[in-house]
Amino acid sequence: MIAVYLVLLIPLAGIVFFALGGHRADRGKLNVRFNAICLLATIWLAVNVLNQGTILSDNKAFLIDPFNVYLIVLTAFVGLTTSIFSGPYMAHEKDLGKLTDNRLKLYYSMYQGFMLAMYLVLTTNNMGIMWVAMEGATLATVMLVSLYRTPESIEAAWKYFILCGVGIAQALFGTILLYYAAMQIGDGESSLLWSVLYENASKLNPEILEIAFVFMLVGYGTKIGLVPLHNWLPDAHSEGPTPMSAVLSGLLLNDALYAVVRNKMLVDGASHSHIAGYLMMGFGLLSFLVGALFLHRQKDIKRLFSYSSIEHMGMMTFAFGIGGPMATFAALLHMTVHSLTKSAIFVTVGHASQLAGTQSIDKIRGLIKTQPKVGWGLLIGTLAIAGFPPFGVFTSEFLVLLATMHSYPWLAPLLLLGIGIAFAGLFRHIQPMVYGDKPEGQQPVKANLWPVIIHLGLVLWLGLAIPEFLANWFSQATLLISGSTPL
């Protein structure tokens, strides 16, 4: 149990340390260290869960089960690799005069704040605290989106703040309804605990829970970036600093989806109408198709990949909506490979735009000739995210497709069409950027590409052969969510 507290206390210490730490040049390295220690703590936690099964803390405030523990490790891992990238990147931005030292201080403090909110969303057992932490994640990142203080970035941050704030208020209404339903069967402060709710799910009033779920889906769905509530996402990704885009895409969206799935488990326990699943399938498919279509008309490289995130989150939501063991397994795998691949892509995108001095797709040219590592990184990352074999995204998309063919065969053509459109949309933009002659005077930048290599290596590994302990883990989580194992 100590591991849980460590996971939460380390980023808390990080917030205070960076906020009060004065001016120092080695903040980037210290940030890496904070995240590294946190990763060790999460691994310790994961080993505990692997040995003992589900852990419920003594005061019932924290619940760690196979579903959230792997997301916790993933969060810590992406947080660490992104912080390795962010150190030199932010130092370079400061050298360019885009940032002052005070804003850098804010950046590092809020980086830790964001990590804390993410860990809290994942570890807490209380549905109310989950909401509070989710809102906390918005509050921590909103100042980071406007970090550059350009009119565009302030507009993006305002939009992010208002849209996510209003959206997530719906989720609080859903939580209140959930609490209301829980109070019908038992009074007291513990009725909002997930473990208690889950145990008594069959006794909860199904109609109230269904209404509550609609609100939850709209609320947390705003954060997942589900169409039509996605407007904030491309803006926030394109105007904020690139490391922020990497963690937003890789972690925040996942965690919001996690919150929705937790609620779906309760609704499924209470009612047998599968309404939650249908809603998720509808919203997911819509986001998937709209995201894929919008890829074609993007002019900004970071907006391009944020639409790709919308597309992939749509697919995961759809897969969780189908709900069978295979679809759930695929969705869990897709969550993992998407966040690894997407954060790797944002790292290379960050370097590419620093090298070209712009984020405009039309002006980024000849990356391979200028700096082969960045160019190849972007190309291979895009291949992976587009779902090429042998990368892990292929495996998970293939499984989603299989599950769809099995349960809803008439939806499979739509999925295939979407994958095709997305593929074309990504490559028409990527090809001229990586190939071709380099513009005059374009110089390589100092770049640390280890995060990219490690992430893409892992995605490749997951595509070729999922290691046994991980497969076992996914199966356990699938068992928890869908009630049976895929194998």
Partner 1 sequence: MNLEQTDFYTQAILSMAALVGLTSFLMLGQGRLLRLIFVFAVQGFLLTLTTVLAAYSLNNPHLYISALLTLVLKVIFIPWMLRREVLLMNTHRDVQALANKTVVMLGGASLMVFSYYVLHPIVQTTSPVMLNALAVSLSVVLLGMLLMISHRQAVAHVVGFMSIENGLFFAAIVATKGMPMVVELGVAFDVLVAAVLFGIFFLHIRTSIDSLDVDLLNKLNEVDK
Binding residues for partner 1, rule: CB under 8 A, are 126, 128-129, 131-133, 135-136, 139, 142-143, 146, 149-152, 154-159, 161-162, 165-166, 169-170, 172-173, 176-177, 179-181, 183-184, 189, 192, 205, 207-208, 211, 235, 238-239, 294, 297
Cis peptide before 241 (omega within 30 of 0): no
Residue 151 CB, nearest distance to partner 1 (Å)?
Answer: 4
d(CA 160, CA 153): 10
What residues pair up with 62 in beta bridges, in sequence order? 124
Which token pair is 141?
A: 């990142």
State which residue, 164 or 400, has the beta carbon closest to partner 1.
164
Smaller CB distance to partner 1: residue 256 or 456?
256
3-state secondary structure (DSSP) of residue 56: strand
Which lies closer to partner 1 via its Cβ, residue 126 or residue 482? 126
Q: Closest CB to partner 1 among 135 and 311?
A: 135
Supply the minimum distance, in Å, between the C-beta of residue 363 and partner 1: 17
Residues 6 or more apart whose CB falls under 8 angstroms from that of 364 comprise 301, 352, 353, 356, 358, 433
Task: Select 238 or 254, whichever has its Cβ closest to partner 1.
Answer: 238
- Measured CA to CA, the distance from residue 70 to residue 183 in angstroms comes to 32
Give min distance, CB of 180 to partner 1, in A.
5
Return the structure tokens found at 221.
């769905």
Q: Which residues contact 361 (CB under 8 A, 6 or more apart)?
A: 298, 299, 300, 301, 304, 429, 433
Compute the least distance from the CB of residue 215 to partner 1, in Å.
Answer: 9
Question: The tokens of 274 are what?
Answer: 């599968």
Return all residues near 218 (Cβ < 8 A) that are at least 6 apart. 167, 170, 171, 229
Q: What is the distance of C-alpha 82 from the center of its chain?
A: 13
In contact, 444 and 371? CB cutoff 8 Å: yes
| DSSP code at position 63 | E
Least Å distance, CB 143 to partner 1, is 7
**DSSP-derived 3-state class of residue 323:** coil
Q: In the complex, what is the shortest distance from the CB of residue 297 to partner 1, in angstroms, rounded to a whole number? A: 7
Smallest gap, in angstroms, from Cβ of residue 160 to partner 1?
11
**Nearest CB to partner 1, comparing residues 290 and 477:** 290
Task: Give min distance, CB of 208 to partner 1, in A.
Answer: 6
Six-digit token pair at 261?
């799935």
| Residue number, 44 or 173, with CB nearest to partner 1 | 173
Q: Which is nearer to partner 1, 21 or 128 (CB)?
A: 128
Could you count the other beta carbons within 10 Å of the beta carbon of residue 457? 12
Query: Residues near 398 by Cβ (< 8 Å), separated by ≥ 6?
Result: none
- Residue 265 CA: distances (Å) to CA of 137, 161, 274: 23, 29, 11
Q: Of 110 and 393, which has the nearer Cβ to partner 1?
A: 110
- Asked if residues 248 and 236 have their Cβ atoms less than 8 Å apart, the reply is yes
Q: Least distance (Å) from partner 1 to the CB of residue 272?
A: 16
**Measured from the CB of residue 164, what is the shortest distance to partner 1 in angstroms?**
11
Residues, the chain: 487
> Which residue's CB is nearer to partner 1, number 71 or number 209?
209
